């Protein structure tokens, strides 16, 4: 490996210094919030009103779960957007939020780019997005299994 390649790799070290704590914080917060949502929604689904109306109760509980998950993902994207602006990686909150949502969803449609020395941080956020969506899908699937009308049989 030549010195140029080593210099290129070391330029990303600041991305890792910021990216690892952002990643861990985002994922831990996501798991904690999904756990809170889970407990409260399952408790709500077991109330007599929901038991008397299983189809409607299921729709209400799952709609609430989806809404809460979307809001959680938006808050997590905002967390990363604040970091981008604070680090000077992106110029303003609007651009940073758009970039963050695109990174987390792997959408990547708009022509937004981080400066070369911050590009690894954007890739780390995309990795986080994959993990966040995986956790959310597992949460929603679990909710459907436990609060669905089929469980009343």
How far apart, in Å, do the first and last CA atoms of the chain sit? 65
Q: Which of 5, 143, 32, 21 is nearest to 86 (CA)?
A: 21
Does residue 152 register a pLDDT over 70?
Answer: no
Q: What is the pLDDT of residue 153?
A: 42
Q: How many beta carbons lie within 10 A of that of residue 105, not counting itself? A: 16
Helix (H, G, I), strand (E, B) or coil at 153: coil
pTM of the model: 0.87
| pLDDT range class, residue 151, cuts 50, 70, 90 | low
Q: Tell me the per-residue pLDDT of 60-80, one tens digit each, with 9 for 90 and over.
A: 999 999 999 999 999 999 999
- Region 4-25: mean pLDDT is 75
The dihedral formed by the CA atoms of 60, 65, 66 and 67, expressed in degrees to the nearest 10: 80
The CA–CA distances, whole Å, from 46 to 32, 35, 49, 55, 138 equal: 22, 17, 8, 13, 21
Q: Which of 106, 66, 102 is nearest to 81 (CA)?
A: 102
| pLDDT range class, residue 3, cuts 50, 70, 90 | low
Q: Tell me the per-residue pLDDT of 88-123, one tens digit each, with 9 for 90 and over.
A: 999 999 999 999 999 999 887 668 888 888 888 999
Show the tokens assigned to 79.
Answer: 């967390």
State the Cα angle at 12 between 24 and 9, rounded to 5°: 130
Q: What is the mean pLDDT of the chain?
A: 89
| pLDDT range class, residue 50, cuts 50, 70, 90 | confident
């Amino acid at each position: 490996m030549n010195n140029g390649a080593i210099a290129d790799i070391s330029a990303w070290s600041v991305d890792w210094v910021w990216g690892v704590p952002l990643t861990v914080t985002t994922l831990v917060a996501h798991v904690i919030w999904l756990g809170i949502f889970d407990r409260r929604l399952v408790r709500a689904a077991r109330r007599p009103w929901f038991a008397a109306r299983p189809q409607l109760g299921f729709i209400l509980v799952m709609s609430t779960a989806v809404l809460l998950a979307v809001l959680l993902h938006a808050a997590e994207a905002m967390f990363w957007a604040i970091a981008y602006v604070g680090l000077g990686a992106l110029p303003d909150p609007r651009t940073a939020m758009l970039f963050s949502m695109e990174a987390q969803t792997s959408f990547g449609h708009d022509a937004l780019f981080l400066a070369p020395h911050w590009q690894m941080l954007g890739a780390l956020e995309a990795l986080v997005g994959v993990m966040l969506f995986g956790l959310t899908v597992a949460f929603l699937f679990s909710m459907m299994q436990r609060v669905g009308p089929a469980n009343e049989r």
